[in-house]
Amino acid sequence: MGEHLPAALLEACVVVGASSEKLRELYQSWQQSPVSNGVPVTLEPEVLHVLAPPFVSKLHTDSELVRSHGRRRRSFIRKKREHLSSITAATAQGRTGAEQRGSDDVTVPKDIDLVALPQLCFPDGLQVMSEPREEQFHFLVFTDVFGNKTFSVVMQCYKAVVDDLSQYPNQNGSVCPKVFSAFSFCVISKYPFFTALKDSLSCFLPQLRSCRVSDLEDRVKEFAAKLALVPAPPPGHLHLMFSLRPLTITLPSGEDRDSPTVDLQLHLPLLCFTPHQLLQVLSCLLQEQRVVLFSADWARLTLVAECLLLFLWPLSWQHPYVPVLARSMLDFLMAPTAFLMGCHISHFEEVASETDDLVLINLDNGSVSTSSSETVDLPEIPQSAAECFTQRCQSLQTQFDLSQCHSPSWTDINEHRAQRRTWQQNLNHDIQKITLELIVNIFRDVCSHLNYEHRVFNSAEFLKTREPNEQLFYTKVLETHIFHSFLKDRLNKKMDSFARMELSTRSETQKMKAKVELPRRPTMQEIQARRRSSVSDHHLKRQGMSLPNLSDHQSFQRNNLLHKINTDLVFKTPPKPAKIFKLPDFPASLSFHSVQSYYMEIIQQLNKAIFSVQHENSALLARFYYLRGLINTLCSRRLDALSDFQSLCKTDTAIFPTPLVTWLVDSLHRDERQQADRRPELKRLILKVKTENEKTLNPGNDHVKKFELPRKPLSLEEFVRCVQECGIVKDVATIHRLFGALTDGQSKHVDPDLFRDFYTFWKETEAEAQDVNLPSDVIDQLDNSECVYKLSSCVKTSHGVGKIAMTQKRLFLLPEGRANFLEITKFRDIQEVKVSSAPVLLLRIPSLRIKCSSRPEVFEANLKTETELWNLIVKEMWTGRKMADQHKDPQYMNQALTNVLLMDAVVGSLQTQKSISAASKLAYFDKLYHDVPMMVPKVTSETLKHKINPSQDLPEPQTVHVLLYTPGQLTCSDSGSEMNPKLWVALSGGRVVVFDATSWSILQDCIMVGESQLNCMLGLVQEQVWIGSVDSVIYIIDTHSMSCNKQLTEHRHEVTGLAVDTREHKSQVTYSCSCDGTILLWDSLSLKVKRQFYLSCSRLSSIQIHDGSLWCGCVDSIVELKKSGTPQRRIVLPDDVRSSNFSCFIVMLEQGQLWTGCADSGDLFVFSINNRRSSKRITLSGSSGVKCMIQVKNQIWVGCRADSGGDGDGQGRGQVMVLDSETHEVDKELQAHTDSTQTLCSAEDRYVLSGSSKGDGKIAIWKVE
């Protein structure tokens, strides 16, 4: 059982000292030789006692436990006496014997190595002397081959052993000498509770001082048994507190499941080093050097080493880590691999002289050197990140006494400790923010060079974006194991502290560029910032960037100010206050019944805590459920424990202990399993655990791939993968057109040399664009967001000689020899583009003529050999602009720009007479516009406000299944800061995308809620969004953290509808339904089912609440239910259309009407609620099926699938019909999408949003009149 339970505070307690035989021999030698009497003597330390849980058992009485416990320890010691030459053999026998003979041998926890422990407990050796010394503490960390850590706090103290040896008389008749021997008490834990364990040992110290050596084991056992009763706190803002007189001791928890527990003083390294020296140390660790720490204080070694590793978080050290090396272990420093180890300062010269290539760090004087030099010749952390870190460190207040000058003196030690603990936690929080900011500043742009679909990191392109003086640092870091592990987390889109800070501190430019998929070029704003920077021009040069669909790269020197402003907001946020749960006092007796009573007392306290917070704080409620489930497990109340963990699923799945619950399920007795099967919620939990374990047996792909250019001909499928990997473009349809352009329809493969030429030209073009040098007057006349994407050679034009430049908005001329700006035209003003020829002497030179509405004269440019390419480019941008304006969809313009850049790269790489013909295959919008004119009807254009694409980060469009608009008040934070309204979009495969509904920019590109289709969404005032899924689960998203951390699993079939009774604003009574007809009434605060009833129907597809009545949309009928759940009325289709199925409905109580639509018919039926047989049919012209319907003011908006007969492609177009609810007439017929309209939602009755199927995959935003 102990292997499956989460570890308690204590894993084991080990007593290390000298054996009684050696002490006896020493004592006798001192008696016989007065000269040596009292001279300190060093002895070999040995393990004397190992005390590990369980300390009590239901199968033994108290006296049997004591006797058995004593025999086990004596047997272990006796074996050591008989086999002094082999401690390992004794340990192995102890482990094996414990399994075979029960009480004859000691039980040693499998993760504890008793061979090395004595030396580490006495790294300077065990000394026996005639006078005692003060007690000393130091700390140990053990790491197994899998990287799992075990932590230990060691207390050394001296005890007089003369009383136990006085039975041997002094032969000379002289006074017996005093003998004080050192003992080490080593408390081992799975958690880094350094301060808590040190405090615990300090409380135990008075008992140690007063007890005899012969009573030592019993006292230690009692102490260890108490600590073994203390559970570790679950992740989150809940700390545990317990009393060990005279102190109250606190166990802090980690911020979340992925964050480390911090129970030490993080400012210790800041007291040892200057910020510059500390950055040197961190740079050495990031580059995985062989690092050795030195100090005269053994305790300082481990504490500082732990702080340094925490400073690197979320990067995790992957190499050997031994913060304390005994003097007999110095050979470890000869290891060829990277490591982090600690030695006593007395070994400094020896280590420096005998070992090469070590980084030597003296914690006592703050020096950083190498074994061959007094300085460290390693690349430093990038300057801008280092400067920001230094400034932050200088602003810290690291002296507690300075902060308490105004405070009165403390008369209660526990109050003083509580005040100091609060100060330390706040300081630790600030330091963690500073070090996390450092890591974010160093690695912020890594995510811009990742391809998530193919798990590729383009390291070469990333390095090209670094400053020249940073290149060597990043070259070394990118090859380390620590960085490779970090990459895996980024590719897995892990939402950890790094991801949260990186997202929250993005500059405005980064946020803007993250909205659309555009090949990167420096904006005018960036060029201006570059010029204001003091960095020299050769430092500003940039090579090409990798992924055009991700956020833009910004060097720190260019954007240090912006990032600093953003992170200042993060630093102003105080740490969340933690709730403290105090455990009851330890039982006076450690019998089985006393321990069970202790656990029951904890459960009673947890019951009260759960009752007090169940309607207020779901995060705290989850932690209480976790603790109660753990305590119930310890009491062998398995079903109660499973019930607690089932409740935990509803409140916070992030801390769900799957291994423990799996063990509980497997350990159920037959009668318990039968009881669980009779309880639906436990039966569902058991199924969930089995499903999760099956997923664990089949882990997903976890590799990281470096991008490499192909070496063999590429088929279409391979070509798509390769283009996506290198980050040129993601869209599959565009890549298919590019494949056709490069093969010119003659081959089924792309030659690898041709692909290399194409890729090289693309990247060279990007690099050249970084160095565009525009006059300041020109920059002032362009928009901040504009970028120069194409620049011609110097040509003769009708406005003089110069270079033609193209941005995403316009064409302009840079006259030769003049630093001014001549606008040629904006793309939306173009009226005609054509190629002509201009006579020059006896030749006719091809020229490009552009006619625009903004000026009467025609612009003409003699572009010579560039004419045909510029003709294609300008026409594609022109038609892209037209379509973007007509459809209110900026994606058209972005796609046109991508097409243009691909054309340019195709012509540049082919260099043949057919290159223009090949490039024309990419002129998608120009061809589409002329072959199939896509004029948008006037009514549609006037009503349409905007279009957005929730699939812009995906290779192909996805169906928009559900839309939900939540007003700003829904996510009003505790701090009172204004939160914008949001649009929640459910795509295929359980993917949820969230938009800021003020700017229509993406806030979250992917929140995964299961893997199945999502059917319905509902926003609640408790800052939650409920989502019903095909997999029968209701997922709950926290609107603050943007994470899905709760699940409701009471339904047995596909969840199809959600509704809330808005009249009950405080209680928020919520209904959910599943396709089998089950309807559940929820208390949305406690997330418990209040009522359940069943509606007999073929398929229940939706529910609505109107004036307290529940209306149910079934395939064959619309049913109104009483509050009791019994049907009050049932409405069916007329007999002549009985074969059709209802798809949606609207209840209008004031008008006494029920509007319904059918999935396979273009007709609406309006029923009189009071007269069920009275109905009116409204035929929607051109519609072949109604998918969705909503009421907005006095209008009915209907989403339809248009009849595809006239299109010839077999794909229905998406229509939105707007009807007057009084006249039943169609006011507007809107051409919404190129695929069927799938869902509708209203945004505060000002806008209506429509989502379409995957053939279109976009969301249209319509104005409501």
| End-to-end alpha carbon distance in the chain | 67
Residue-level pLDDT at 414: 82
Q: Does position 631 have pLDDT exceeding 50, yes or no?
A: yes
Average pLDDT over residues 354-364: 88
**Angle formed at CA 399 by CA 393 and CA 401, multiple of 5 degrees:** 160
Question: By the 8 A CB rule, do 739 and 468 touch?
Answer: no
The DSSP string of 978-1036 is ----EEEEE-GGGEEEEEETTTTEEEEEEEE--SS-EEEEEEETTTEEEEEETTS-EEE
Find the Cα–Cα–Cα–Cα dihedral 670, 671, 675, 678, rounded to 10°: 70
135 burial via Cβ count (<10 Å: 0-12, 13-18, 19+): middle
Q: What is the CA radius of gyration of the chain?
A: 37
At residue 170, does pLDDT exceed 60?
Answer: no
Q: Can you tell me the mean pLDDT for 917-934?
A: 81
How much of the chain, in percent, has pLDDT values that exceed 70? 83
Q: Which of 879, 915, 914, 910 is nearest to 897 (CA)?
A: 879
Average pLDDT, the chain: 82
Residue entry with tokens 């998203």 = 1037
Nearest to residue 1019, comparing CAs of 969, 1054, 976, 975?
969
Q: Report the C-alpha gap between 1123 and 763 in whole angstroms.
A: 67
Whether 559 has a pLDDT exceeding 50, the answer reads no
Alpha helices in 782-889 (DSSP H): 867-887
Over the stretch 587-629, which tens digit does the pLDDT of each residue have?
988 888 899 999 999 999 999 999 888 777 788 888 999 999 9
The predicted model scores a pTM of: 0.83
Measured distance CA(295)–CA(291) in Å, rounded = 14
> Two tokens at 948?
């957005």
Report for 286-300, 750-764, 820-834, 839-853: range of highest mean pLDDT: 286-300
Beta bridge partners of 994: 984, 1004
**Res. 890: pLDDT tops 90:** no
Beta strands in 348-480 (DSSP E): 359-362, 367-370, 450-451, 456-457
What per-residue confidence (pLDDT) applies to 227? Answer: 92
Average pLDDT over residues 147-155: 90
Residue 182: the pLDDT is 87
- Summarize pLDDT for 424-473 with one digit per residue, the tens: 898 999 999 999 999 999 998 888 888 888 888 888 888 888 888 999 99
Which of 813, 790, 793, 768 has the alpha carbon at shortest distance from 899? 790
Determine whether 357 is exposed, middle or buried from the number of CB atoms within 10 Å of its CB (0-12, 13-18, 19+): exposed
Assign 799 to helix, strand or coil: coil
**What's the pLDDT score for residue 14?**
92
- Helix (DSSP H) and strand (DSSP E) numbers for the chain: 37, 54
d(CA 657, CA 673): 20
Q: Under DSSP, is residue 518 helix (H, G, I), strand (E, B) or coil? A: coil
- Would you place residue 641 in the very low, low, confident or very high pLDDT band (cuts 50, 70, 90)? very high
b/e code 761-794 from CB counts within 10 Å (16+ = b): bbbebbeebbeeebeeebbeebeeebbbbbebee
Task: Give the per-residue pLDDT at 99.
Answer: 36
The backbone region for 976, taken as left when phi is positive above 0, alpha when psi lies in -120 to 50, beta otherwise, is: left
DSSP 651: H
Residues in Cβ contact with 61 at an 8 Å cutoff, skipping those fewer than 6 apart: none
Question: Is residue 81 scored above 70 in pLDDT?
Answer: no
